[in-house]
Chain A
Amino acid sequence: MHRARRNPAAAHPPVTRRAFLRLMAAGAGAGLAAARRTDAAAGWSLAEAARPYRGTTIKAASVTHWANNAVQPLIPEFERETGIKVDFEYLERTALNAKLDVELGAKTGAYDIVHIDVSKVVRYQRAGWVVPLDAFLQTPGLTDPKAPVADFIPPYLKTVTVDGKVYGLPFSGESTAFFYRADLYEKKGVKPPRTMEELDAVNKIIHSGDVPAFAMRAVKGEGLNVFTWTTWLRSYGGQFFDAQARPILDSPQAVKATEEYARLLQTYGPKGVASYRHFEILADFQQEKLASWIDATSLAARINDPKTSRVTERWAMAPVPRGPAGQFPGIYAHAHGIAADSKKKEAAWLFVQWCTSPDVQLRRAAKEGGAGDVTRVSVFEAPEFKKWWSKGNYAEVTLASAKIALPDYRPTFMPEWLEVGDRLGTAIQQVITKERDAKSALAAANTDIARILKK
């Protein structure tokens, strides 16, 4: 339908280092199937399930995030019903990762619940720092039938699944989409672009000195410019690796994709776009200084916030434009995982399940200042949710994009990904700043990446 189906075997050849990529693609389905079996138990109650764990205290470490903030007021409910106390520690993402590396590496057992995402799950799993959740999913006494795992938007769940085992329950998820100023578009009589050609044409019409037409992440980083750039790579038919698992980032498709990515930013981007992360893009858009951009869907909530945004009534979203090879929105999810050295795993599980359950997710989204980056299909389709989150087509576009996104959108499953991604990001940024041209930048990056992988 929307995406070009690729042969999984070609993308993930049977080389030892990449074997688990294939296993992941096949195995996540098996994990979900097993979970479905435990759904049926009727008459399950949280208080009953938590009875053996009354009086314990569990410690959680997670990112500072709107989704976590939105759930915080509801936590006392959980504590009352189960008698389990929840101590949360919130840290900014990079600081959190550094701290967790130290704590988990030293096996202090200080945290029962840890933040986990697609860039960490393989590392944590291999180091034995987190436990698969399948054991809990297969224990009827601990599984809430009203919170089925199958209800999670599959790509979100797959981003934290390794070797077919689920290592976290996503509490916040996002895809990427095209955001634009509906009022400007209407004034100029254009519609949001559906293809890359249309994107160029629309930008040309909309662009002006006062309000640049378009921006995307430019700062180097596997979670920064690489995140949105990969849409271009895939859309132009590029790949990260070939059938022999060698990096092919210097292929003609990759070069074309990078040239296009850079050209769009250089031609239609605001001044200094080469230093833009999503922070800067957001600030510009909120202050009416940007006409359109592509980035994470979860940013919609920030545009809607009248305390910081001047364009709360004038924006809309559309799916990312498709390229010659198809349509490839990005994907990312935050999840709660359970630490291997935790002594209160079951209590931790009950909390993780509760705070990602349809009921809690709906309540945290459908309110003033709520967080709409929910991770369950049922919540997206609930009328309550739609009432709060239909503005700008958020609900519709996000769900549609998330559903067709590829979990291995970026090859984050390999242990060297962080280093590889950063090296790639550096090359991309160099092209955007015109420090190097696409061909030489990518060739150099490719050589370096091949060297990194050989180690």
Chain B
Amino acid sequence: MPPDPARTDASRRFSPLERTYLWMLLPAVVVLALTVVVPLGLLLRNSLYHWQFSKPWLTGFVGLENYREMLQDARFGASIWRAFVFIASTVAAEVGLALSLAELLSVRVRGMSLVKSGFLLPMVLPPIVVGIMWRIMYHPTLGIVNYFLRFIGLDQAWLAEPGLALFALIAVDVWQWTPFLLLMFLAGYAAIPQELYEAAHVDGANRWHRFRDVTLPLLRALIVVGVLFRTVDGMKIFPTIHIMTEGGPGEATEVMNYYAYKIAFAYSNVGYSSALSFVMFLIAIVVSVGLIRAARRLGAAI
């Protein structure tokens, strides 16, 4: 939607219309400001202290010491890399899958709406339950996953092999969160006027062309929003990893957020974990900015 030149003015005065808009914006902004400012402030403050529950005698202001330590923390670096692999894989798979499913489900057949509701189910389970259930299903000998894979000789100890565990977790995340994007994209599909499809059909476009030239451009903005949210949420993943592998075997599935959790809750090192959390927050900002810029360059109206 092109900006109305009469309204893009750099003047400091707000028109009455704009004032109404600001009032509409205010409550949300106030709530969010309160939610952001205090925790971030506390986080920053704590990260400048040495504060470990188990060694209370060492508490005190240490400036950037925690951050210095972080630079030498190979385990943290490894966890960032793993988080990157995890998020990139899951988001790519989820977007691809959700788009394909939305396209498949856009056929107007009786009962399709019921099928759509069915596809939403995985997202609806609490992550902690998802973790528990998949752990049972991944059991090397008694689990249902290997029972099926045995027929094609692919049964492995999914959660026990350092090389496979991350992949197993990615599969679970894709299974659980594709519905999130699917729901978004279905709403997007609903907003596309039928006339555009009909026009394309008249022009001789087949299914794939219709998707590429009509659907995709109109969904672009929504796809970017989906990618952004899955990325940001992906950095916070916790219960599933905790229940299924606890970051193992070894450290094979210890992603950024899980490592920070260990430091905070298992080792009670509030100071260091605050520093880690703050850095994770900054990483999230950098990644998001990058994604938005890339999206704009690809033409999405964000």
A residues contacting B by CB (< 8 A) are: 94, 97-98, 101, 105, 122-123, 126-127, 218-221, 270-276, 280, 283-284, 287, 289, 415-416, 418-419, 422, 426, 429-430, 433, 435
CA A78 to CA B75, docked complex, whole Å: 50
Whether the pair A220, B140 counts as a contact (CB closer than 8 A) is no
10 additional A-B pairs beyond A429-B250, A433-B160, beta carbons within 8 Å, are: A219-B249, A220-B246, A270-B140, A270-B141, A271-B140, A274-B249, A283-B142, A415-B54, A418-B267, A419-B267
Q: Do most interface residues of chain B lie in helix, strand or loop, or is the interface mixed?
A: loop
Binding site for A on B (CB under 8 A): 52-56, 139-142, 156-162, 165, 242, 245-246, 248-251, 262, 265-268
The reply to whether B141 and A289 contact each other, CB–CB distance below 8 Å, is yes
Q: Which residues of B contact A123 (CB under 8 A)?
A: 53-54, 268
Q: How far is the CA of A283 from the CA of B136 in the complex (A)?
A: 10
Tell me the interface secondary structure of chain A in the complex: helix
Verify B157–A271 contact, CB threshold 8 A.
yes
Closest B residue to A271 by beta carbon equals B140
Docked pose: A435 CA to B266 CA in angstroms: 25
Q: Are A272 and B140 closer than 8 Å at their CB atoms?
A: yes
Name the B residues within 8 Å of A105 (CB-CB).
Answer: 53
Q: Which 5 A-B pairs have the closest CB atoms?
A: A272-B157, A272-B140, A275-B160, A415-B54, A274-B160
Contact A127 B157 (CB under 8 A): no
Partner of B142, one of A98, A287, A422, A426: A287
| Chain B residue at smallest Cβ distance from A441 | B250
Residues of A within 8 A of B162 (CB): 430, 433, 435
A283–B54 touching, CB < 8 Å: no
Question: B140 is contacted by which of A275, A415, A418 (Cβ under 8 Å)?
Answer: A275
Is B251 within 8 A of A426, CB to CB? yes
Instruction: Point out the residue from A122, A126, A219, A289 that lies within 8 Å of B246, measured CB to CB.
Output: A219
- In the assembled complex, how far is the CB of residue A362 from the closest CB belonging to chain B, in whole angstroms? 34
Whether the Cβ atoms of B56 and A422 lie closer than 8 Å is: no
- Known A-B contacts A289-B142, A435-B162; the reply to A101 vs B266 at CB < 8 A is no
* B141→A418 contact, CB < 8 A: no
A12 to chain B, nearest CB (A): 19
A–B pairs, 7, beta carbons within 8 Å: A122-B54, A218-B160, A271-B141, A287-B142, A289-B142, A426-B251, A435-B249
Q: Choose from A271, A275, A284, A416 the contact partner of B249 (Cβ within 8 Å).
A: A275
Q: How far is the CA of A422 from the CA of B263 in the complex (A)?
A: 11
Contact A280 B139 (CB under 8 A): yes
**In the complex, what residue of chain B is closest to A416 when comparing beta carbons?**
B54
Rounded to whole Å, the gap between the CB of A420 and the closest CB of chain B is: 10
| Closest chain A residue, CB of each to CB of B135 | A279
Which chain A residues lie closer than 8 Å to B52 at the CB level? 415
Inter-chain contact A272/B54, CB cutoff 8 Å: no
Residues of B within 8 Å of A98, CB to CB, are 265
Decide: B157 and A274 in contact? CB cutoff 8 A: yes
Complex formed: what's the CA distance from A105 to B56 in Å?
A: 12
**With a CB–CB cut-off of 8 A, which chain B residues contact A289?**
141-142
Of B158, B159, B165, most A-chain CB atoms within 10 Å: B159
Q: Give the chain B neighbours of A122 by CB distance below 8 A.
A: 54
